[in-house]
Structure 1
């Protein structure tokens, strides 16, 4: 997802309403240091330094909806206990962006997960929970709360951790509410089968859950495609979105081929709640009428940020913007290549039947004329290499005081342009060495040159290539820009 698309989507999701229904829990993290082993048993002794509590499960989905700029109606169950009071307090702290509609059931405890952490590693998790299905009056009140909360919502998210809240009656209430208000129903579940959810819009198993539910392997793309096809035979859901960790996600919709969406590799600090973040982002994007492809990219971006944070984390819009900018910087750095890597990339492109173009210049202060020139050059080929003069080479050509920007700055700015596929620095007076190494199919220079003046033009024509002269945007040049800056600086 590029920055412009992200910023547009963040504006569109602001204030959008999503209903979050499911197993509410409290996540408690106990942090400390381990420096010795207990004399009583071969176990570490944790010297506690602090502990924190936050909403987990469906509560974490709602927290993420709020953090991303939307509003959430949260329907869940708590017990008549101290942890239930904590849950109520945590929900109230999220108001008004989270509208808590919690049902109390004195006959069961509030789900509590306590994690003991030292040095960034979880040592132990202790769960207090009741997983039997909710029945009777509590179940009725959950269904009623869901119906009442659905007005104005475009998406209903069912977060089923198998703790008993998402019963058949609650599922039916979600589908009925969605039909009444024109919302989609998306299910994220730890269940062994997804058939019980009926004709919902989307179910979101992970690869192992898909494999278990269908009895088919789900490792490779081909295996996932077969398992998704089987899932759509077994379930009434209109679509299946499979999360596959580092392999990305795969989407299967009825009557359409399965599509695979790779993900950017990220360092994982703590995966707690990352699935909740992805569900919230997916639901919010769809609530804003974003295309499904865009919603998936948004969910991948948000969960990628979440795994880099400690605890059951939420993700803010500014963190998403920062992640996109960082990714683009990394991509730009990856486009700056040595001669050897340029040769390897060209060989790979040619094996794919792609047409390779080459141009060069100092590109000291990138301006509108450069951008238009490079866009035109890219239009004549499938992949464009830009040779850029080293600092010494620019100085030899332009004189003392040049370049204004050093080679690293110039190369990274060029690499950040969509029209540029590879940037290759060179130190010689001309790029002839790069041209001989790359053997481009098209050699491009500005129309201020005559074709027979283009360095390397005769070589390119000799091996069957062509020389193209790109139009020059009048009124834009680095020399003129420097002159204007000097004049303004002296004024």
Structure 2
């Protein structure tokens, strides 16, 4: 990728606000060599535990890891998990704006045996417990929007992002001249329009377009892009295609497909967050859509080569690109 050092220098001056569903990712690492006598399930001998930021907090972590300044707005409970997540954010110099609520912090626990995920355990309250009233948006997010270069709306379908809140935050950002990006979850059916960027994966793009997946059929890229532009009028659309790379679209037309940069895939957890962070950072730093996508693609290529929810540093990214 040409011009990477110069782009990284510009990114170091960028400030991003991430608004969305915040959670703590917990990993239990161990081994299983026997079956329980109580039930036909493996007995896991736990070696260690690790914790990192998940959901919208992982987007923020990726932004900070790549050298930019980041503020995260989302709900963190007053509990042990919340304290642990707050410490992770402080360690990475991520400012946090807490949203109202009394629910526990969302925790996703993954049990890994010999580097393979055995199961996932979720701790979370009902989504309405996390809702933020739109009239509060100016008070909660106003100063952070004014101070940033771009706003990322990270939806994990847990309830922070409502139609009213998306509309209010988008209006505040537009008034301040900020770039607005959304990583949507189609099952939430959020109402949005005229954003700068949306970043669905292949399955989510089909859902947003109102199309059913057809087994063994090629991805209908042209139809999906045309439909999504008609429905949402987004300036840029980038669809992550997994092992097939990333599809770029503008004005309802397919611009090109950039092949995946991954050399080795160990774990795709959080790769979409890395791609979103890279795209927004690239665009906010003045890169073209294509160059921003190449940057995001390379960053995601590093992350999928790591186990667990992970991030990438500028040094890792430069080394990775130089080896290609």
The match for 1:103 is 99
Deviations 1:385-440 (A, max 9, x none): xxxxxxxxxxxxxxxxxxxxxxxxxxxxxxxxxxxxxxxxxxxxxxxxxxxxxxxx
Q: Which residue of 286, 301, 305 corresponds with 1:304?
A: 301
Partners of 2:126 and 2:285 lie apart in 1 by: 34
TM-score when normalising by structure 1: 0.62
Q: Which residue of 74, 80, 83 corresponds with 1:82?
A: 80
The match for 1:425 is none
Whether the 8 Å contact between 1:19 and 1:155 is mirrored in structure 2 is: yes
2:42 maps to 1:44: yes
Partners of 1:209 and 1:264 lie apart in 2 by: 21
Partners of 1:257 and 1:70 lie apart in 2 by: 30
The match for 2:125 is 130
TM-score when normalising by structure 2: 0.92
Partners of 1:255 and 1:280 lie apart in 2 by: 23
Whether the 8 Å contact between 1:147 and 1:177 is mirrored in structure 2 is: yes
Q: Which residue of 108, 111, 135 corresponds with 1:113?
A: 108
**SS of 1:318's equivalent?**
helix
Whether the 8 Å contact between 2:226 and 2:252 is mirrored in structure 1 is: no
131 and 226 in structure 1: CA distance in 2 versus 1, 3 angstrom threshold: farther
314 and 101 in structure 1: CA distance in 2 versus 1, 3 angstrom threshold: same
Q: What does residue range 390-409 of structure 1 map to in structure 2 within 5 Å?
A: none
Q: What does residue range 60-459 of structure 1 map to in structure 2 within 5 Å?
A: 60-95=58-93, 98-106=94-102, 108-133=103-128, 140-141=135-136, 144-192=139-187, 196-216=191-211, 217=213, 223-254=220-251, 256-327=253-324
Whether the 8 Å contact between 2:225 and 2:254 is mirrored in structure 1 is: no
Q: Which residues of structure 1 form unaligned runs of 5+? A: 328-491
Q: CA deviation at 1:191?
A: 2.3
119 and 222 in structure 1: CA distance in 2 versus 1, 3 angstrom threshold: closer
Partners of 2:208 and 2:179 lie apart in 1 by: 23
Whether the 8 Å contact between 2:18 and 2:153 is mirrored in structure 1 is: yes
Deviations 1:345-368 (A, max 9, x none): xxxxxxxxxxxxxxxxxxxxxxxx
Q: Which residues of structure 2 form unaligned runs of 5+? A: none
Deviations 1:137-163 (A, max 9, x none): 666555532222012322111110000
Which aligned segments of 4 or more residues in structure 1 are displaced greater than 6 angstroms? 135-138, 218-222
Which protein, 1 or 2, shows the higher relative CO under an 8 Å CA cutoff with sep ≥ 6?
Answer: 2
The match for 1:416 is none
Whether the 8 Å contact between 1:33 and 1:118 is mirrored in structure 2 is: yes
The match for 1:19 is 17
Q: Quote the RMSD (CA, aligned, Å).
A: 2.1
**SS of 2:306's equivalent?**
coil
**SS of 2:265's equivalent?**
coil
Partners of 1:289 and 1:164 lie apart in 2 by: 32
Partners of 2:22 and 2:278 lie apart in 1 by: 18
211 and 137 in structure 1: CA distance in 2 versus 1, 3 angstrom threshold: closer
Q: CA deviation at 1:193?
A: 6.7
**SS of 1:260's equivalent?**
strand
Query: Which structure is larger by alpha-carbon Rg, 1 or 2?
Result: 1
Partners of 2:124 and 2:169 lie apart in 1 by: 24
Q: CA deviation at 1:172?
A: 1.6
Whether the 8 Å contact between 2:16 and 2:150 is mirrored in structure 1 is: yes
